[in-house]
Amino acid sequence: MASGDTVHQVGEGLDTALETRALSVFYGAAQAVKEISLTIPRNRVVAFIGPSGCGKSTFLRCFNRMNDLIPVARIEGDVMFQGANLYAPDVDAVEVRRRIGMVFQKPNPFPKSIYDNIAFGLKVNGFQGDMAEQVERSLRSAALWDEVKDRLQESALGLSGGQQQRLCIARALAVEPEILLMDEPASALDPIATGKIEDLIGDLKKDYTIVIVTHNMQQAARVSDYTAFLYLGELIEYGDTERLFTNPTEERTEQYITGRFG
Amino acid sequence: MNDARFLPKQAKRKRAGAIFQAVCLVSIGFSIAVLAILIVDVSRDGLRWLSWDFLSRYPSRIPARAGIKSAILGSLWMMALTAGISFPLGVGAAIYLEEYAPRNWFTRLLQTNISNLAGVPSIVYGILGLAIFVRFFGFGRSVLAGAATLALLILPVVIIASQEALKAVPNSLREASYGVGATKWQTIRYQVLPVALPGILTGTILSLSRAIGETAPLIMIGALTFIAFAPTSPMDPFTVLPIQIFNWTAKPQADFHDLAAGAIIVLLVVLLVMNAAAIVLRNRYQKRF
């Protein structure tokens, strides 16, 4: 059972990319995340599952301090990244977000050209290398290059939903983050586009640590190495994905994955 | 079709729809009719006075020699200065309120007051301008004092229109920008403002077209009605088209009334050009993507 005192660890022997310590999030008086302590292993895919409103997206948005943008949100506890607490007073949220990238639920490309969508992150972060080369590399990493290489100067809004989402992934990769957070990245996409995103996640974990929130249990089972089940803001169970889906130790996990609620 | 629990009343519902459509048609018809009457009436009186001489001469005691050169130049000066003052102040205030201000009682108080200021009669701004710009700052009865007064007058509308334009920028765009490590300023400068700009420009130009027709506050701060020279600096005395029109309509001679009609046509054309500019600007920025 999850509580603040024990850190839930998975992936024995693996390096830790992120660790939360008794992390809580409050929206005004309501507590959305309740003292969750867990570790995210490096170069693995971790999925957060749970019914709507369980706090999984809120929890994810703590990892790159996106909740800072919500005035009523208040965070307690620590998020350790490379030995430092992301919420320490001397840590700059802007730098955190470059090193921990994010892909959102709905594709949100900038209303600019495909090229400028990628180049923006490079420019604002003072990228000194070859811009065009980095744009190409990012688009290749997101498996989008072949589809857009002849139309880089066209509007990103002319791409299909699935292409837009891969562009958003490329945009996040361009600034060379170490961790990629994905908040239900395929929930607005059709099954074929979803399949492409899922294949991409499999490729990307060689180079990145990926944390993905999904309400789709099959997706969690397909793409992730480890799965955390959250319910009402609490971490109910966290473990090896295959084990969690075939042999959950918590009753609520079993009820959820067998579709008895959610 | 004869399910007793439903009473479709198809005919009645369709009639209600038709009546509503007719009411809307009457509304637009009424507005257009009034405008048409105004244009026809003004044209009948004023059109024959329109000539290059009318535009290029200074006012005169003799109707046949009177022109509106100083009024046109005064209005142009006025618009340029008013835009130059109200645009940066208004957009800056709107950005602060939308992007930076904490959501607390003080911000709400500011917001309420700005909305109220938009409804304050323009003559009150004239009194304010007289006290602050003409006397306290010592601008005198100058173009600058007039422009500062009009800028103050349209500022609430510029702020509110700009705020609405900023509000219409989806939050997902801001998140995307922050997500790649952009700072707040970079997000506002490169993502939010370009998307909001067409709306901001439209709001500003529409407020300016209100300012160009304002008379009362300028009379209050002491714009002259008889100016036989063109203003050459912001500190010069001035007149503007509406004041020239007001002055001519107040004279007893019928010829001056027709001159006023001619000036009204010119003012309407200037307004039309400004609104057209607003549309062109908006379309140009919107088409980019």
pLDDT interval class at B287 (50, 70, 90):
low
For B182-209, what is each residue's pLDDT tens digit? 999 999 999 999 999 988 998 998 899 8
What is the average per-residue pLDDT within A105-126? 95
pTM: 0.85
- How many domains are contained in chain B? 2
pLDDT interval class at B289 (50, 70, 90):
low
Please determine, for residue B139, whether its predicted confidence score (pLDDT) is greater than 50.
Answer: yes
Q: Running DSSP on this structure, what letter comes out for residue A68?
A: G
CB-CB under 8 Å, B289 with A95: no
List all residues 6 or more positions away from B30 whose beta carbon is below 8 Å from its beta carbon: none
Q: Do B124 and B262 fall within a single domain? A: yes
Q: Do B64 and B29 fall within a single domain? A: no
| pLDDT cut 70: percent of chain A above it | 98
Residue with tokens 């705020």: B163
pLDDT at A78: 94
Q: Do B31 and B66 fall within a single domain? A: no
Which of B209, B263, B258, B257 lies closest to B241, judged by CA? B263
| pLDDT cut 90: percent of chain A above it | 85
In whole angstroms, give the CA distance from residue A152 to residue A137: 13
pLDDT interval class at B86 (50, 70, 90):
very high
Distances (CA, A) of A222 to A150, A173, A182, A198, B122: 33, 22, 15, 8, 67
User: Is any Cβ of chain B less than 8 angstroms from the Cβ of A172?
Assistant: yes
User: Is any Cβ of chain B less than 8 angstroms from the Cβ of A86?
Assistant: no
Q: Where are the alpha helices (DSSP H) in chain B?
A: 10-46, 52-56, 69-95, 105-117, 122-129, 143-167, 171-179, 184-187, 193-211, 216-221, 241-249, 254-287
Q: Do B39 and B172 fall within a single domain? A: no
Of B175, B183, B194, the CB nearest to A108: B175
Of B103, B180, B183, the CB nearest to A175: B180
pLDDT interval class at A7 (50, 70, 90):
confident
Q: Do B31 and B73 fall within a single domain? A: no
Contacts of B176 in chain A (CB under 8 A): 104, 108-110, 168, 171
| Token reading at A250 | 């918590």
CB-CB under 8 Å, A71 with B186: no
B233: left (phi > 0), else alpha (psi -120 to 50), else beta?
beta
CA atoms within 13 A on the CB side of B106: 2
Of A98, A108, A155, the CB nearest to B176: A108
User: Is any Cβ of chain A less than 8 angstroms from the Cβ of B175?
Assistant: yes
User: Is any Cβ of chain A less than 8 angstroms from the Cβ of B176?
Assistant: yes
For A31-90, what is each residue's pLDDT tens digit? 999 999 999 999 999 999 999 888 999 999 999 999 988 888 999 999 999 989 999 999
Rg value, chain A, Cα: 18
Q: Do B94 and B77 fall within a single domain? A: yes
pLDDT at A9: 85
Strands A84-85 and A30-41: unpaired
| Token reading at A235 | 């971490």
Please determine, for residue B2, whether its predicted confidence score (pLDDT) is greater than 80.
Answer: no
What is the average per-residue pLDDT within A239-243? 94
Chain B interface, mutation test: which of A94, A95, A98, A176, most B Cβ atoms within 10 Å?
A: A94
Chain A interface, mutation test: which of B98, B180, B190, most A Cβ atoms within 10 Å?
A: B180
Residue where a domain stops, chosen among B12, B31, B49? B49
Partners of residue A81 on adjacent β-strands? A18, A84
CA atoms within 13 A on the CB side of B9: 7
Question: Do residues B180 and A123 make contact, with C-beta atoms less than 8 angstroms apart?
Answer: no
Distances (CA, A) of A252 to A260, A261, B103: 9, 9, 39
Question: Do residues A39 and A8 make contact, with C-beta atoms less than 8 angstroms apart?
Answer: yes
> How far is B261 from chain A, CA to nearest CA, in Å?
47
Mean residue pLDDT across chain A: 92
pLDDT interval class at A262 (50, 70, 90):
low
Q: What is the ipTM of this complex?
A: 0.91
Please determine, for residue A4, whether its predicted confidence score (pLDDT) is greater than 70.
Answer: no
What is the average per-residue pLDDT within A121-134? 95
Q: Do B36 and B147 fall within a single domain? A: no
Handedness of CA A9, A11, A14, A15 (dihedral sign): negative
pLDDT at B50: 84
In whole angstroms, give the CA distance from residue B158 to residue B151: 9
> How far is A249 from chain B, CA to nearest CA, in Å?
36
CB-CB under 8 Å, B178 with A125: no
What DSSP element (H or E) covers A75?
strand A73-81
Which of A167, A18, A10, A176 lies closest to A82, judged by CA? A18
Q: Do B247 and B130 fall within a single domain? A: yes
Q: Do B17 and B127 fall within a single domain? A: no
Q: Do B151 and B28 fall within a single domain? A: no
In whole angstroms, give the CA distance from residue B37 to residue A205: 73
Question: Do residues B231 and B238 make contact, with C-beta atoms less than 8 angstroms apart?
Answer: yes
> How far is B162 from chain A, CA to nearest CA, in Å?
19
User: Is any Cβ of chain B less than 8 angstroms from the Cβ of A102?
Assistant: yes
CATH code, domain carrying B207? 1.10.3720.10
pLDDT at A235: 94
Q: What angle do CA A251, A229, A80 make, to 5 degrees?
A: 135
SS3 B85: helix
Mean residue pLDDT across chain B: 89
User: Is any Cβ of chain B less than 8 angstroms from the Cβ of A106?
Assistant: yes
> How far is B186 from chain A, CA to nearest CA, in Å?
7
> Both ends of chain B: CA-CA distance in Å?
50
Domain of residue B13: give its range: 4-49
CB-CB under 8 Å, A172 with B181: no
Closest-CA residue of A relative to B172 is: A108
In whole angstroms, give the CA distance from residue A245 to residue A235: 16
CB-CB under 8 Å, B174 with A97: no
pLDDT interval class at A3 (50, 70, 90):
very low
What is the average per-residue pLDDT within A147-168? 95
For B221-243, what is each residue's pLDDT tens digit? 877 777 777 788 888 888 889 99
In whole angstroms, give the CA distance from residue A213 to residue A235: 14
Task: Name the amino acid, one letter, at B285.
Answer: Y
Q: Do B35 and B73 fall within a single domain? A: no
pLDDT at A1: 45
Question: A110 φ, ψ to 5°?
Answer: -70, 150
CB-CB under 8 Å, A104 with B179: yes
**How far is C-alpha B76 from the geometric centre of its chain's CA atoms?**
14
Contacts of B170 in chain A (CB under 8 A): 108
For B145-160, what is each residue's pLDDT tens digit? 999 999 999 999 999 9
Q: Do B118 and B35 fall within a single domain? A: no
User: Is any Cβ of chain B less than 8 angstroms from the Cβ of A152?
Assistant: no
CB-CB under 8 Å, B289 with A94: no
CB-CB under 8 Å, B103 with A120: no
Contacts of B189 in chain A (CB under 8 A): none
In whole angstroms, give the CA distance from residue B203 to residue B211: 12
Strands A16-27 and A73-81: antiparallel
Three-class HEC string of A110-168: CCCEHHHHHHHHHHHCCCCCCHHHHHHHHHHHCCCHHHHCCCCCCEHHHCCHHHHHHHH
Handedness of CA B223, B229, B231, B236 (dihedral sign): negative
> How far is B147 from chain A, CA to nearest CA, in Å?
36
SS3 A104: coil
Question: Do residues A240 and A225 make contact, with C-beta atoms less than 8 angstroms apart?
Answer: yes
| pLDDT cut 90: percent of chain B above it | 51
In whole angstroms, give the CA distance from residue A134 to residue A132: 5
